[in-house]
């Protein structure tokens, strides 16, 4: 300041400026802006990075220009060496390097990232609120973590004051609207003019307005409305409508309670603020690295005063047990047979004593249609060729056995013929449809025609076996009838049996009407073979998809699924899945039986370490390192091994 | 004179009762404020004919003479007033605000109150009043009201309450305050 130009008139102005220029907080914010202060993050277990200004490394070498000659000279530090000569000596100052990355191990599909947030003293003030926003970058996505808020005492007090003012304002709102009714006058009015309503005043059952009206046509509702202080009610309603606006006006910055990691009120401003932040994240496949960044802002009242510049990112490298999975493929042996058979049954009704297929009779059309569909499906199936179809027809017991046998034979023959004709027609039409193939050289060839299929018919005669079963399972027949039936079932002569049943069993009529029709079944047996196969059986190997899915689940860190899928296999990969899920005993059981490769030994080291068997663990680990020196470094990534390394000071040289 | 007034009042009530046999609520009352004007006795009756209308009749009587005989001291506000008219109640009869208008006949002899000049005569006119009826109990109302009236009067002014000397006489139109109500009404 130039005191020469200090006029008296300017004095009050200057004073004013000084006062107005800033509350102390304004100056403080200005200072922060100049300094570019920032909050920093560091890894726990290390010294928190001090807010040192960048120190200029001390120079050992000076370049001096001679004023007179303009020549440049190099002046360097010199020491005497062993010969006594003065030799230039450069000394580099040790630079302070702090680790900005850390290895974390994933266990059970989750990783815990821990870091310390350090806020320097000059960024805190009782009138300010610091909002620190850590965020992490995961596979290209940036995710915001829960913010950390540091609130100054005065800031908090102002917030609370806002809430108190709002509470006071709320008290002006009446919640019980009956307050607005002039009860005294209303009750007198009702007593005089609506005596029926008055008589019911203690009865809370609902009555419509039309029922009770005064002599001069005034209903209760009208009376209530008249004796309500409408102005006060309207005013109250208006106040309620302004609740939100008033809240925003009085409580400028509401106190946040959730979505926050921490909201602490600082009482004294001595010392820096240190907060250890731990965040658990679930790992995804291919997730190897997570970067954590810190940004934030300082708020005074409701406006932002300073934006904290982003800090340097902190990197976490994620290592996982899924790296130990054995990705070799596994195959299953599959036996494919040439011959295949299928069967279906249907009920085709015939007229009494008749054996022609009559489509219009009862439900024949549906049944026949169904069989035709089945047949068509099998014919059109390109994997199989049909060899033969065997038709079995059976009859119900009424009538003589010989007659029934002949009849059922005729019936099954008739059915065979019927379907045979139909099949021939079908094959012809399919051939006509499939047309010709024209190959590249112009030659025309017809696609292979469908071979015609052999229909064989068999007759089963009277279907007593099925009747036995039906009677057993029947719910309508009484136990007496059933036992009678059982008695008769021992009779070998079927005709006599039938006659005795007709006379002896009370519910014979029921059996005749309900059970007998179900005995007249026609069974179709389809015999097929695989198209193009000559041998009777073929052995092939196929990829074991279940196993491979289990291996992929391990890679995707989906350990529960992996355990479920790999459990029956009980091999090395299953052991890896068990180990990742924490089923140490099961894992160890399997690994003991495995051949001791480097992987197996390392896994065993981890398992021993988890159980606390240090000696075995170190033994296995050393053997693993002997087989594969890469595990020397890997040991740092797994907490079970790194703890051993620290405890027993297994140095790099020892492991060579 | 008193006898005839009482008979007339009774006759009016009976007449009203006869005419309005179909209505439901009645009201009778007396005005306490009138008593302040040198002991005027008043009686009012009304009958509701509809939700917003009542018909009414009112009589006021002040037969008192104070310090009678003494020309210097005597003062009186003797009158008999007969009114009939209708009231309109915006909300409902016998509760809340009301306005009324009607016809009034008044015979008066007032003097000696502020000056010895005594005015005597009768007046005919139409009244306009408004007021509020507050329900106090199941059958009790208290009424507040103010009214004025205008019309014609024939008058004679004497020089003192007992003198015979006529100072002024004639007929003229007038517009005067009519009543101040603070009455208790019984509703049934």
Of B25, B135, B139, the CB nearest to A185: B135
CB atoms within 10 A of CB A355: 18
Q: Mean pLDDT highest for which of A211-215, A467-471, B89-93?
A: B89-93
List all residues of chain B from 60 to 99 with a beta carbon under 8 Å from chain A: 91-95
What is the model's pLDDT at position B155? 94
Residues in chain B within 8 Å Cβ distance of A216: 48, 50-51, 92-93
Residues in chain A within 8 Å Cβ distance of B22: none
Q: How far apart are CA B88 and CA B99, in angstroms?
A: 5
Residues in chain A within 8 Å Cβ distance of B91: 226
What is the model's pLDDT at position A241? 94
pLDDT digits (tens, 9 = 90+) for A366-403: 888 888 888 888 877 778 887 888 888 887 777 788 88
Could B95 and A216 be called an inter-chain contact, meaning their C-beta atoms sit closer than 8 Å?
Answer: no
What is the model's pLDDT at position A286? 77
Using a pLDDT cut of 70, give the percent of chain B over it.
Answer: 87
The domain in which residue B7 lies consists of: 2-187
- Asked if the model's pLDDT at residue A81 lies above 70, the reply is no
Rg, Å, chain B Cα set: 18
Could B48 and A216 be called an inter-chain contact, meaning their C-beta atoms sit closer than 8 Å?
Answer: yes
What is the model's pLDDT at position A50? 41
What is the model's pLDDT at position A201? 74
What is the model's pLDDT at position A607? 92
Residue B132 to chain A, least CA–CA distance (Å): 13
Confidence of residue B153 (pLDDT cuts 50, 70, 90): very high
For A40-50+97-160+253-323, give the CATH class: mainly beta
Residues in chain A within 8 Å Cβ distance of B137: 188
**What is the residue-averaged pLDDT of chain A?**
80
List all residues of chain A from 182 to 201 with a beta carbon under 8 Å from chain B: 185, 188-189, 191-193
> Is the CATH code 1.25.40.10 the one for domain A544-648?
yes
- Asked if the model's pLDDT at residue A636 lies above 90, the reply is no
Q: What is the mean pLDDT of residues A236-241?
A: 94
Q: What is the mean pLDDT of residues A417-439?
A: 77
Q: How far apart are CA B22 and CA B168, in angstroms?
A: 49
Q: How far apart are CA B137 and CA B128, in angstroms?
A: 28
Judge whether B135 is closer than 8 Å to chain A, CB to CB. Answer: yes
What is the model's pLDDT at position B20? 34
What is the model's pLDDT at position A230? 92
Q: Which two tokens stand for residue A533?
A: 């196969």
What is the model's pLDDT at position A435? 65
What is the model's pLDDT at position A442? 67
Q: What is the DSSP letter of B21?
A: T
3-state secondary structure of A245: helix
SS (H, E, C) A33-73: HHHCCCCEEECCCCCCCCCCCCCCCCCCEEEEECCCCCCEE
Q: How far apart are CA B46 and CA B16, in angstroms?
A: 8
pTM over 0.80: no
What is the model's pLDDT at position A3? 47
Residues in chain A within 8 Å Cβ distance of B50: 216
3-state secondary structure of A113: strand
Q: How far apart are CA A492 and CA B37, in angstroms?
A: 135
What is the model's pLDDT at position B107? 95
Q: What is the DSSP letter of A653?
A: T
Residue A192 to chain B, least CA–CA distance (Å): 6
Closest chain A residue to the Cα of B96, Cα to Cα:
A185
Of B48, B50, B95, the CB nearest to A189: B95
Name the β-bridge partners of A263.
Answer: A149
- Asked if the model's pLDDT at residue A171 lies above 50, the reply is yes
What is the model's pLDDT at position A407? 83
Q: What is the DSSP letter of A511?
A: I
Could B135 and A218 be called an inter-chain contact, meaning their C-beta atoms sit closer than 8 Å?
Answer: no
Burial status of residue A67 (CB atoms within 10 A of its CB: 0-12, 13-18, 19 or more): exposed
Using a pLDDT cut of 90, give the percent of chain A over it.
Answer: 14
- Asked if the model's pLDDT at residue B161 lies above 70, the reply is yes
Q: What is the mean pLDDT of residues B97-117?
A: 92
Confidence of residue A45 (pLDDT cuts 50, 70, 90): low
- Asked if the model's pLDDT at residue A424 lies above 70, the reply is yes
Residue B50 to chain A, least CA–CA distance (Å): 6
Residues in chain A within 8 Å Cβ distance of B134: 185
Q: Is the ipTM of this complex over 0.95?
A: no
In total, the C-beta contacts within 8 angstroms joining chain A to chain B are 33
Judge whether B115 is closer than 8 Å to chain A, CB to CB. Answer: no
Domains identified in chain B, total number: 1
Residue A196 to chain B, least CA–CA distance (Å): 14
Closest CA to A220 of A211, A231, A230, A229: A211
pLDDT digits (tens, 9 = 90+) for B52-69: 999 999 999 999 988 887
Closest chain A residue to the Cα of B187, Cα to Cα:
A192
- Asked if the model's pLDDT at residue A10 lies above 70, the reply is no
Residues composing chain A: 656
Residues in chain B within 8 Å Cβ distance of A214: 92
Between residues A197 and A151, the one the model is more confident about? A151
- Asked if the model's pLDDT at residue A95 lies above 70, the reply is no
Name the β-bridge partners of A278.
Answer: A114
- Asked if the model's pLDDT at residue A21 lies above 50, the reply is no
- Asked if the model's pLDDT at residue A221 lies above 80, the reply is yes
Confidence of residue A324 (pLDDT cuts 50, 70, 90): confident
- Asked if the model's pLDDT at residue B13 lies above 50, the reply is no
Residues in chain B within 8 Å Cβ distance of A218: 51, 92
CB atoms within 10 A of CB A194: 20
- Asked if the model's pLDDT at residue A93 lies above 50, the reply is no
Of A188, A189, A216, the CB nearest to B51: A216
Q: What is the mean pLDDT of residues A180-187?
A: 91
Judge whether B134 is closer than 8 Å to chain A, CB to CB. Answer: yes
What is the model's pLDDT at position A55? 45
Judge whether A388 is closer than 8 Å to chain B, CB to CB. Answer: no
CATH at residue B144: 2.40.160.20
Using a pLDDT cut of 70, give the percent of chain A over it.
Answer: 82
Q: Which two tokens stand for residue B37?
A: 């004007």
Residue A221 to chain B, least CA–CA distance (Å): 14
Burial letters for A114-150: b for 16+ Cβ neighbours within 10 Å, e otherwise? ebbbbbbeebbbbbbbbbbbbbbebeeeeeebebbbb
> What interhelical angle do A479-489 and A464-473 show, nearest 10?
160
- Asked if the model's pLDDT at residue B19 lies above 50, the reply is no
- Asked if the model's pLDDT at residue B22 lies above 50, the reply is no
What is the model's pLDDT at position A96? 41
Helix (H) or strand (E) holding B18: helix B2-19
- Asked if the model's pLDDT at residue A429 lies above 70, the reply is yes
Residue A161 to chain B, least CA–CA distance (Å): 46
What is the model's pLDDT at position A574? 92
Confidence of residue A79 (pLDDT cuts 50, 70, 90): low
Closest chain A residue to the Cα of B139, Cα to Cα:
A192
Name, in order, each residue with C-beta under 8 angstroms of A182's C-beta and a sequence gap of 6 or more: A227, A228, A229
β-pairing, B140-158 vs A128-138, is: unpaired
Which of A183, A192, A225 to mutate against chain B (most B CBs within 10 Å)? Answer: A192
C-beta of residue B127 within 8 angstroms of C-beta of residue B90: no
Of A191, A215, A217, the CB nearest to B24: A215
Confidence of residue A653 (pLDDT cuts 50, 70, 90): low
Residue B135 to chain A, least CA–CA distance (Å): 6
What is the model's pLDDT at position A656? 53
Judge whether A170 is closer than 8 Å to chain B, CB to CB. Answer: no
Confidence of residue A105 (pLDDT cuts 50, 70, 90): confident
C-beta of residue B109 within 8 angstroms of C-beta of residue B1: no
Which backbone phi and psi does A157 adopt, to 5 degrees?
Answer: -65, -40
Burial status of residue A556 (CB atoms within 10 A of its CB: 0-12, 13-18, 19 or more): middle
Closest chain A residue to the Cα of B23, Cα to Cα:
A215
C-beta of residue A596 within 8 angstroms of C-beta of residue A566: no
Which of B89, B90, B92 to mutate against chain A (most A CBs within 10 Å)? Answer: B92
> Is the CATH code 3.40.718.10 the one for domain A333-431+451-463+520-537?
no
HSE of A129, CA atoms in CB hemisphere, 13 A: 26
Q: What is the mean pLDDT of residues A319-344?
A: 84
Q: Where are the domains of chain A?
A: 3-35, 40-50+97-160+253-323, 333-431+451-463+520-537, 544-648
Closest chain A residue to the Cα of B137, Cα to Cα:
A188
- Asked if the model's pLDDT at residue A482 lies above 80, the reply is yes
- Vertex A485: Cα angle to A479 and A489 (nearest 5): 145
What is the model's pLDDT at position A99? 58
Between residues B123 and A100, the one the model is more confident about? B123
Residues in chain A within 8 Å Cβ distance of B51: 216-218
- Asked if the model's pLDDT at residue A638 lies above 90, the reply is no
């Amino acid at each position: 300041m130039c005191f020469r130009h200090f006029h008296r008139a300017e004095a009050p102005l200057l004073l004013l400026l000084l006062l107005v220029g800033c509350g102390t907080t304004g100056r403080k914010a200005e200072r922060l802006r100049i300094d570019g202060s920032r909050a920093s993050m560091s890894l726990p277990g290390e010294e928190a990075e001090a807010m040192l200004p960048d120190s200029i490394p001390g120079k050992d070498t000076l370049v001096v220009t001679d004023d007179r000659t303009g020549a440049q000279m190099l002046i360097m530090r010199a020491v005497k060496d062993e010969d006594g000569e003065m030799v230039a000596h450069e000394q580099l100052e040790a630079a302070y390097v702090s680790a900005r990355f850390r290895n974390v191990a994933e266990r059970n599909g989750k990783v815990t990232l821990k870091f310390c947030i350090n806020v320097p003293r000059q960024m805190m003030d009782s009138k300010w609120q610091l909002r620190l926003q850590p965020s992490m970058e995961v596979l290209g996505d940036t995710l915001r973590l829960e913010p950390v808020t540091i609130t100054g005492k005065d800031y908090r007090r102002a917030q609370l004051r806002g809430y108190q003012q709002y509470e006071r304002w709320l008290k002006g709102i009446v919640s019980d609207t009956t307050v607005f009714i002039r009860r005294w006058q209303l009750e007198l009015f009702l007593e005089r003019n609506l005596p029926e309503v008055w008589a019911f005043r203690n009865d809370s059952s609902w009555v419509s307005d039309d029922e009770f009206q005064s002599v001069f046509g005034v209903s209760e509702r009208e009376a209530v409305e008249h004796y309500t202080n409408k102005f006060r009610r309207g005013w109250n309603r208006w106040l309620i409508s302004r609740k939100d606006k008033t809240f925003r006006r009085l409580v400028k910055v509401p106190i946040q309670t959730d979505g926050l990691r921490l909201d602490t009120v600082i009482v004294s401003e001595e010392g820096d603020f240190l907060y250890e932040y731990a965040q658990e994240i679930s790992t995804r496949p291919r997730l190897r690295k997570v970067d954590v960044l810190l940004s934030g802002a300082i708020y005074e009242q409701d406006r932002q005063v300073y934006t904290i510049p982003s800090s340097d990112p902190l990197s976490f490298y994620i290592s996982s047990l899924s790296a130990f999975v054995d990705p070799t493929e596994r195959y299953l042996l599959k036996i494919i047979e040439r011959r295949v058979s299928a069967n279906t049954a249907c009920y085709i009704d015939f007229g009494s004593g008749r054996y022609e297929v009559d489509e219009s009779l009862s439900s024949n059309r549906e049944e026949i249609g169904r069989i035709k569909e089945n047949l068509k499906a099998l014919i059109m199936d390109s994997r199989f060729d049909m060899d033969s179809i065997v038709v079995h027809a059976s009859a119900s017991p009424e009538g003589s056995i010989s007659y029934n046998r002949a009849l059922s034979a005729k019936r099954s023959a008739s059915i065979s013929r019927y379907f045979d004709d139909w099949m021939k027609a079908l094959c012809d039409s399919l051939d006509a449809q499939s047309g010709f193939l024209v190959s590249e050289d112009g030659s025309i060839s017809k696609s292979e025609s469908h071979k015609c299929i052999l229909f064989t018919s068999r007759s089963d005669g009277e279907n007593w076996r099925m009747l036995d079963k039906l009677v057993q399972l029947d719910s309508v027949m009484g136990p007496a009838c059933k036992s009678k039936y059982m008695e008769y079932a021992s009779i070998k002569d079927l005709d006599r049996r039938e006659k005795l049943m007709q006379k002896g069993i009370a519910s014979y009529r029921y059996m005749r009407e309900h059970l007998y029709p179900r005995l007249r079944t026609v069974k179709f047996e389809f015999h097929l073979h695989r198209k193009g196969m000559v041998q009777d059986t073929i052995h092939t190997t196929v990829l074991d998809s279940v196993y491979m899915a289990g291996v992929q689940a391990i890679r995707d860190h989906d350990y529960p699924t992996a355990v479920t899928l790999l459990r029956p296999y009980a091999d090395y990969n299953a052991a890896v899945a068990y180990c990742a899920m924490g089923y140490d005993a099961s894992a160890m059981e399997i690994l003991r039986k495995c051949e001791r490769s480097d992987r197996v030994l390392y896994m065993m080291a981890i398992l021993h370490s988890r159980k606390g068997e240090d000696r075995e663990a170190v033994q296995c680990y050393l053997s693993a390192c002997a087989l594969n020196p890469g595990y020397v470094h890997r040991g740092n990534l797994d907490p079970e091994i790194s703890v051993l390394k620290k405890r027993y000071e297994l140095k790099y040289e020892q492991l060579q | 004179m008193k006898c005839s007034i009482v008979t007339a009042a009774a006759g009016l009530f009976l007449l009203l009762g006869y005419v309005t046999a179909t209505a439901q609520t009645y009201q009778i009352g007396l005005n306490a404020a009138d008593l302040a004007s040198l002991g005027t006795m008043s009686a009012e009756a009304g009958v509701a004919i509809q939700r917003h209308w009542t018909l009414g009749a009112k009589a006021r009587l002040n037969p008192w003479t104070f310090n009678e005989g003494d020309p210097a001291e005597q003062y009186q506000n003797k009158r008999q007033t007969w009114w009939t008219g209708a009231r309109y109640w915006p909300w409902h009869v016998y509760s809340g605000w009301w306005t009324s208008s009607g016809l009034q006949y008044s015979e008066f002899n007032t003097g000696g109150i502020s000056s010895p000049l005594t005015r005597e005569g009768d007046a005919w006119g139409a009244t306009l009043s408004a007021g509020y009826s507050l329900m106090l109990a199941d059958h009790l109302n208290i009424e507040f009201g103010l009214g004025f009236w205008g019309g014609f009067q024939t008058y004679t002014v004497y020089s003192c309450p007992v003198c015979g000397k006529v100072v002024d006489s004639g007929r003229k139109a007038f517009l005067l305050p009519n009543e101040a109500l603070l009455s208790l009404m019984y509703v049934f």
